[in-house]
Amino acid sequence: MTGDPEFLTLCAAVLETLGLRLDAYRPTQLQRRLAAFRQRHGLRSNAELAARIRVDGELRDRLADFLTINVSEFFRNPDRFAELRNRFLPALLARKPALRVWSAGCSIGAEIYSVALLLRELAPGRNHDLLGTDIDPEVLRRAREGIYEATEMRGVPDRMRRAYFRPVEGGWEILPAIRSQVRFAQHDLLRDPYPRGWDLILCRNVVIYFTDEAKAEVWRQLAASLNEGGILFIGGSESLYGVQDTGLRYVAPCFYEKMPRSGLAP
């Protein structure tokens, strides 16, 4: 597939118009997803798709949404968030009064707002640095707006819903007091420099369609962005198995800790 001239033409068009690197996606899954997208929009080939996205802004936006897989909800995988609340956040807060938390590939912001709610209850009154980043400006707009549909809210306990949200047309709005604690920025994990100095990084179900090489590089960069003793929280279908020299150690399903330098092999 990677040597196919039509695919290379599409790669060039996607990189030029969307800034996405298709060569970083796993080829089998990508081929299947592109075929589904072409069929949905009545396009016969990758070359035809490449030509269309250069002139059709609406189709280009649909392809971006399709490729970046913006699926998110509050407290996704509740058992893992329970472990974050009961084990990892208290340990981090015992070391530092205010935490720096980065949700990489934050989509519509539900994940970083979930952490904001937990910190609000575990350490009220503290000013934490909470950042959500994503490649897609449209989902970042939604994240800043802070309005969520019922399906995106299904993991929010009723008590939290009453305390931190208000009903609006089409769903629920997170209160300004919570929204103001989180900042959002555009960031491409495959191209942009990584911000450093984080106590907790969440990157969950973001890299599942990346090639093994691209995935390993993302894990290494995220590990380098963590402070010593910091935690990387990944998706349930993901693993750092086989990724060397990260300085991370497995501590629980989906959780890895950045070891102090004294704990690293010479």
The pLDDT tens digits for 221-255 are 999 999 999 999 998 878 887 777 899 999 999 99
172 lies in some domain: yes
> Is 235 or 102 the better-scoring residue by pLDDT?
102
Overall number of domains in the chain = 2
Supply the pLDDT for residue 25.
Answer: 75
- Domain identity same for 203 and 250: yes
Average pLDDT value for residue range 52-59 = 88
13 lies in some domain: yes
Supply the pLDDT for residue 136.
Answer: 85
Among 17-31, 47-61, 179-193, 246-260, the least confident range: 17-31
CATH of the domain at 116: 3.40.50.150
Q: Which domain holds residue 139?
A: 78-263
146 lies in some domain: yes
Supply the pLDDT for residue 71.
Answer: 61
Supply the pLDDT for residue 68.
Answer: 64
165 lies in some domain: yes
73 lies in some domain: no
What percentage of residues in the chain have a pLDDT greater than 70?
Answer: 95
- Domain identity same for 171 and 119: yes
DSSP the chain: -TT-HHHHHHHHHHHHHH---GGGB-HHHHHHHHHHHHHHTT--SHHHHHHHHHH-HHHHHHHHHHHHT----TTSSHHHHHHIIIIIHHHHHHH-SS-EEEEET-TTTHHHHHHHHHHHHHSTT---EEEEEES-HHHHHHHHHTEE-GGGGTTS-HHHHHHHEEEETTEEEE-HHHHTTEEEEE--TTTSPPP--EEEEEE-SSSTTB-HHHHHHHHHHHHHHEEEEEEEEE-TT---TT--S--EEEEETTEEEE--GGGS--
Q: Which pLDDT band holds residue 264 (cuts at 50, 70, 90)?
A: very low
211 lies in some domain: yes
248 lies in some domain: yes
Supply the pLDDT for residue 2.
Answer: 53
